[in-house]
Amino acid sequence: MKNIAVIGAGTMGNGIAHVFAQNGYKTNLIDISQDSLDKGLATIGKNLDRMVAKELITENDKKSTLEIITSYTNLADGVKKADLVIEAATENRALKLKIFKELDTICESGTILATNTSSISITQIAAATNRADKVIGMHFMNPVPIMQLVEVIRGYSTSDAVTKIIMDLSIDLGKTPTEVNDYPGFVANRILMPMINEAIETLYNKVAGVAEIDTVMKLGMAHPMGPLQLADFIGLDICLSILNVMYDGFKNPKYAPCPLLVNMVTAGKLGVKSGEGFYDYSQSRKAETVSKQFN
């Protein structure tokens, strides 16, 4: 594992590229949009600057990290010599299947294909390729440079050898890998998303307001961030997508997304990324909640 390709320059993709490059891996960052690549690289630079300011790394460390990241808008060029490709595109099943089908035709036969999906079946993604034994899930947590966990998800046909390579690689990145099996939501989101959804239901049923719900969970349950604020940071559209995947996969009504969540996503209130969710981020600070009527 020397050459890494990361598909998607968004929040997760640029974070994954950052971590690999900081640990000395030659990293290609790929996106169809040059603007997205520029923003992703700028984010990596800013995050490295924070680390320099905290004396976690040196200016030379920052420079060497940025020097081994190369950006591409052409998928074939970006993955040509990769030992490992990590897909971190939008959480959309059809898009991921399309990407993996294409990767299978253009990558070398020994290349391992990983996905950062937080809920979609690894087995289903692997079925779009002719190398199901070399397809695996690497679910990094946000923000990637800080969070220690990597959920390593085995598909039905993922080989023991590939699983060991990815587990060892995660450790080499300074992460703590945890192996889980391929069921909707895996472990992290199978537990987290119903909690977030229940917090939204609690708001929807006028049990308490946004700040009150988050305060109970922060002070009563020692959570560093309340579930509604966390949902804003994840992205309400992502939360809705994951809940839908679990609802479709298990056919269990407990995973059905709250109508308030559906309405907010439909209205474009997606959280931090849109400037407004359960909290208002338009002035880069928490202000009045969007859902005043539920207080």
* Active site amino acids: 118, 139, 151, 189
- Cα–Cα distance measured from residue 38 to residue 15, given in angstroms and rounded to the nearest whole number: 14
Half-sphere CA count of 52, side-chain side, radius 13 A:
15
- Cα–Cα distance measured from residue 100 to residue 103, given in angstroms and rounded to the nearest whole number: 5
Nearest to 230 by CA among 241, 242, 218, 221: 218
Distances (CA, A) of 199 to 203, 257, 277: 6, 11, 14
Distances (CA, A) of 6 to 146, 201, 225: 18, 36, 29
Please give the DSSP secondary-structure letter assigned to residue 287: -
- Cα–Cα distance measured from residue 185 to residue 279, given in angstroms and rounded to the nearest whole number: 26
Half-sphere CA count of 132, side-chain side, radius 13 A:
11
23 and 2 in contact (C-beta within 8 Å)? no
Largest CA distance in the chain: 57
Q: Which residue has the tokens 């040509």?
A: 80
- Cα–Cα distance measured from residue 266 to residue 260, given in angstroms and rounded to the nearest whole number: 10
